[in-house]
Amino acid sequence: MKTYLFKSTLIAEVLLIVLLSSCQNKVDDYAYEMIDLSHSYSGETLYWVTATPFQLDTVFKGFTDKGYFYCANDFRTAEHGGTHIDAPIHFNEQGQSVDEIPLYRLVGAAIKIDVSANALEDQDYLISIEDIKNWENTHQKMIPDQSIVLFETGYSKFYPDAIAYMGTDQRGEDAVKELHFPGLSKEAAQWLVENRNIASVGIDTPSIDYGQSSLFESHVILLGQNIPAFENLTQLNKLPEDGFSITALPMKIEEGSGAPVRVIAKVKV
């Protein structure tokens, strides 16, 4: 009798766990929306003016002589283009490569700082310390520790129009001086490093530094502290300013200075 009761209780507990797990999944499905913050890779993908653009070559597409359908491609891409990650080693000799970045810098709670009202009026807008403090004053709290901080400039709506998005559709070294788009000021980058404990940053422009930067000081400051950056994000306008999470998993390239990344936001509804 005792054995029978023990088995019955154990079975009931297992069934309860399964039921609760199932209910939790359903609750999550109804309570959260998943938003893709990534541009697709194609012939329209925008790259830095000196980088190798994306190329997809068909190896085979069709029915084989054995009667089944088969499709396979080769692709070529620079590390830094489209929606991608800048690993710390990109601007930090001792920095982490893509495969070495800790997962807590890629997955976790996030906030959004919306500067689009100013950035859309000024193609060379520099996100300031004041912009960051305005977010904190509005939300009556400091940026939480280990947050992923996203900056919305509004420029993703121009993608893939290179002239509107980047300031030029020219390619090569001579085109660098023609780049115009907003970015994070070196002062704001330094303030974040010195005053807040953030996991990573992201922006909906081609670079965390603004287009006319020649020294890439925000890269040097942030990546110098092993804080990676996500660039060429999209759909940030669909995010709230607080209370969501990010999953940003790049292609795990050993010794990579960057990589394509799929960035997903989980937003409570």
What DSSP designation does 81 have? B
Q: Digits of tens for pLDDT over the chain (269 positions)?
A: 444 444 455 555 545 444 544 444 344 555 899 999 999 999 999 999 999 999 999 999 999 999 999 999 999 999 999 999 999 999 999 999 999 999 999 999 999 999 999 999 999 999 999 999 999 999 999 999 999 999 999 999 999 999 999 999 999 999 999 999 999 999 999 999 999 999 999 999 999 999 999 999 999 999 999 999 999 999 999 999 999 999 999 999 999 999 999 999 999 98
Whether pTM > 0.75 for this model: the answer is: yes
Closest CA to 206 of 48, 38, 77: 48
Paired with 32 in beta bridges are 268
Nearest of 121, 115, 139 to residue 203 by alpha carbon? 115
